């Protein structure tokens, strides 16, 4: 089976490409740019995959508040054109989305299932939710995978690294760290997400499926565990979201249930502390 991966040079794409069976076609923005709809159909016509996995997104959460048109151009309208082109080409679309489609239910304390009503509290979250709708509306055979807080050894290039890298870099500089303690989610290792996506493709899954590491934590708790496992002494202080003062609101609780993933016959990813340990080991052994 021929599978194309859009965003193949990114943090998730770099882990996904080697885990897919069959002929894998890595695509970058130079091949197909969601912000330039005229590039989409010609690119699909050239490669003609059976499945296309979209790992590309406008993922600058705070920047999206000031630039909503840019966020929607990629995350919603670009995905709409991609889904239409896939339908015309007979290609199944696998689209990666986010826990940020939730957040309106501030009192939530139990993991969110795929059937729970979304309620984004940011422009980014709204643009990603719109992308989910257009991807699924184009073809019921398409698959949307929601995930959360990605980190992998290839980093998040446009953001200058992932959360783990940032924590270790700032702590290594001896600077104090103030990390939010009132947002609960499940940071997810891209290698484990890639394994799950590959499994869902093999299983022929469609619709909407949540995939994250197991368990949950606050960002402060995640940072504390990063430093504990890495053996780093850090000046770490918990703060509230209000004290942090980000331009975009984040969900107070966006822990996702993996039950539908397991029901599809794909093993749930390991608990987040185990995933973090595997990431840190891979990071140490990554070639320079």
Q: Which residues contact 153 (CB under 8 A, 6 or more apart)?
A: 15, 191, 279, 282, 283, 286
The number of residues in the chain equals 288
CA distance 50 to 11: 23
Q: Phi, psi (5° rounding) for residue 271?
A: -60, 150
Q: Which two tokens stand for residue 65?
A: 């508040």
Number of neighbours of residue 70 by Cβ within 10 angstroms: 16
Closest CA relative to residue 274, chosen from 211, 235, 229:
229
Catalytic annotation, residues: 124
Q: What are the tokens at 92?
A: 């199944």
Pairing of strands 51-54, 188-189: unpaired
What distances in angstroms separate CA 124 from CA 143, 206, 273, one per listed residue? 20, 24, 27
d(Cα 18, Cα 78) in Å, to the nearest integer?
26
Task: Report the distance separating Cα 97 and Cα 81, nearest Å.
Answer: 16
- Between CA 105 and CA 7 the distance in angstroms is 31
- Contact status, residue 258 vs residue 198, Cβ threshold 8 Å: no
Could you give the C-alpha distances from 261 to 69, 100, 198, 209, in angstroms and in order?
33, 19, 12, 6
**How far apart, in whole angstroms, are the C-alpha atoms of residue 126 and residue 117?**
13
| Residue with tokens 């699924």, as numbered in its chain | 136
């Amino acid at each position: 089976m021929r599978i194309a991966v859009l965003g193949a040079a990114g943090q998730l794409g770099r882990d996904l490409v080697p885990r897919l069976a069959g002929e894998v076609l890595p695509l970058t923005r130079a091949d197909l740019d969601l912000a330039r709809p005229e590039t989409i159909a010609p690119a699909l016509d050239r490669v003609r995959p059976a499945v296309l996995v979209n790992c590309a997104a406008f993922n600058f959460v705070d920047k999206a508040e000031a630039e909503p048109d840019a966020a929607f151009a990629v995350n919603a309208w670009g995905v709409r054109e991609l889904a239409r082109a896939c339908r015309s080409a007979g290609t199944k679309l696998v689209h990666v989305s986010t826990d940020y489609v939730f957040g309106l239910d501030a009192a939530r304390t139990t993991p969110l299932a795929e059937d729970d009503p979304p309620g984004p509290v940011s422009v980014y979250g709204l643009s990603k939710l719109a992308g989910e709708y257009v991807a699924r509306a184009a073809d019921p055979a398409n698959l949307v995978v929601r995930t959360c807080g990605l980190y992998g050894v290839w980093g998040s290039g446009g953001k200058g690294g992932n959360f783990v890298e940032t924590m270790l870099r700032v702590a290594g500089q001896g600077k104090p760290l103030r990390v939010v303690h009132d947002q609960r989610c499940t940071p997810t290792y891209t290698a484990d997400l890639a394994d799950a996506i590959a499994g869902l493709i093999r299983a022929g899954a469609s619709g909407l499926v949540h995939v994250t590491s197991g368990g949950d934590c606050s960002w402060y708790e995640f940072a504390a565990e990063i430093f504990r496992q890495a053996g780093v002494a850090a000046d770490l202080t918990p703060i509230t979201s209000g004290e942090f003062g980000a331009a975009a609101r984040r969900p107070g609780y966006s822990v996702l249930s993996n039950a539908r993933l397991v029901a599809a016959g794909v093993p749930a990813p390991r608990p987040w502390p185990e995933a973090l340990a595997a990431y840190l080991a891979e990071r140490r052994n990554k070639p320079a």
